Amino acid sequence: METPYFLINKQELDLNVTKLKNALSKFWSNSIIGYSYKTNSLPWIIEYFKNQNCFAEVVSDDEYSLAKQICCDKSKIIYNGPIKTKETFIEALQNGCIVNIDSKREIEWLKSLDKNQSFSIGLRVNFDLEDVCYGQTACGSEGGRFGFCLENGEFEKALKTTKSYGFEISGIHLHTSSKTRSVEIYKAIAQVAVKIKKLYNLNLKFVDIGGGFFGGLDNKPQFNDYLQAVSEIMKQAFDADETTLIVEPGMSLIGSPISYVTSVTDVKDTVRNRFVITDGSRINIDPLMRKSSYFYRCDFASESNSVLKKQVICGFTCMENDRFFVAENCNELKVGDKIIFNKVGAYTMCLSPLFIKYFPPVYLDDNGKKVLLRKRWTVTEYIAGSDIGEN
């Protein structure tokens, strides 16, 4: 197979899903998994999660349309985020989707709905997680911007406005992104859910704790650890028979089963370094250029005996910062050797720019059998829909 390419390990993906389902049935029988489309919405992947009975968790009108095309059941969609359109917001509610309101304009949109019908409306809660989990949240002292602030009364106002328009909320949405993905984060989330239920005496059909979990890493918290902690706290105020627990995993399911396979195309020495050039690029597995290390393995085409003090492993783009890592005291890499980056399934394929080269192909490894899931993008896909003028 020509490199570079992404490779999805089906058995590892199956295992991640099984572990999550087992943890949910053990700790909160009444639950829904909403697979986070934005984490990786390769068509085969979203179809896979649909077949696993997962809902589609979408955060834009485009993702919503994609979910409608993939899901036979148009109500199995959780519609989140600030960039919904009014048209899709209304349609999703009428189709029976779970729609979590993120902004004041969405509350206004409720006015177009029939008050005699019931809808699955959730309110996204903005709460000061940094205060309880110091140093752990994504935005630190600047705080997150999604949802309605619990501490300053905005959430209560949103509740009241919704009510004044004739609607009761069915649930609350508490997704928050953290740097640590620790169990403490989810304990804090569960505590906020308990607090809100008691404070406003709400009858909640669902509590959505969002995504952001670790998965597929033995040395990190497991689904059992998160869900045991959440269920212990939630049980103080909720009954599992009456309130559905929603989780919205992305990274924890699709991160670990995907690898990116590259080959060494050239090796060059300068006065300052030994550069190993590959046919892969950081833009495909670290599009935000933030990772400081990778899970990787080298496949040497022939026995490599000499150990080199320093080799700088680089990508194919014309950007000097397209350097994956520095291999120190490693065997000498030569043209034709492979470097395989593991656990690169989350926020990669859907976040890469179309810079210099188009998307690489994606294969499935199903018990050793390789299947092509998406052909490499070519000029045809790149110019599709473009007006190239009259030449």
Ligand X SMILES: *Cc1c(COP(=O)(O)O)cnc(C)c1O
Residues forming contacts to ligand X in the complex (CB under 6 A) are 36, 38-39, 57, 59, 80, 175, 210-213, 248-252, 346
Instruction: Say if residues 352 and 258 touch (Cβ distance below 8 Å).
Output: no
Residue the block writes with tokens 């110091």: 134
CB neighbours of 255 closer than 8 A, spacing ≥ 6?
39, 215, 216, 343, 344, 345, 346
Shortest distance in whole angstroms from residue 181 CB to ligand X: 8
CA distance 361 to 5: 5
Closest distance to ligand X from the beta carbon of 211 (Å) = 3
Question: 37 or 363, CB closer to ligand X?
Answer: 37
Q: Which residue's CB is nearer to ligand X, number 130 or number 279?
A: 130
Residues 225 and 182: beta-carbon distance below 8 Å: no
Helix (H) or strand (E) holding 122: strand 120-126
Q: Kindly state the DSSP code that residue 141 receives in the 8-state scheme.
A: G
Q: Which is nearer to ligand X, 59 or 77 (CB)?
A: 59
In the bound state with ligand X, the residue whose beta carbon lies nearer, of 105 and 179, is: 179
Q: Which of 37, 45, 40, 56 is nearest to 14 (CA)?
A: 45
- For residue 231, the minimal CB distance to ligand X (Å) is 19
When the beta carbons of 39 and 170 are compared against ligand X, the nearer one is 39
DSSP element (H, E) containing 200: helix 183-200
Select 59 or 149, whichever has its Cβ closest to ligand X.
59
Picking from 254, 264, 352, 267, the residue whose alpha carbon sits closest to that of residue 301 is: 264
Amino acid identity, position 166: G
CB of 98 to ligand X, least distance (A): 12
Shortest approach of ligand X to residue 36 CB, angstroms? 4
Sign of the torsion formed by the C-alpha atoms of 74, 75, 80 and 86? positive
CB of 176 to ligand X, least distance (A): 9
Least Å distance, CB 74 to ligand X, is 20
Chain position whose Cβ is nearest to ligand X: 250
When the beta carbons of 190 and 346 are compared against ligand X, the nearer one is: 346
Q: How far is CA 306 from the centre of its chain?
A: 41
Rg (CA), the chain: 23
Residues 212, 346: Cα–Cα separation, whole Å: 11
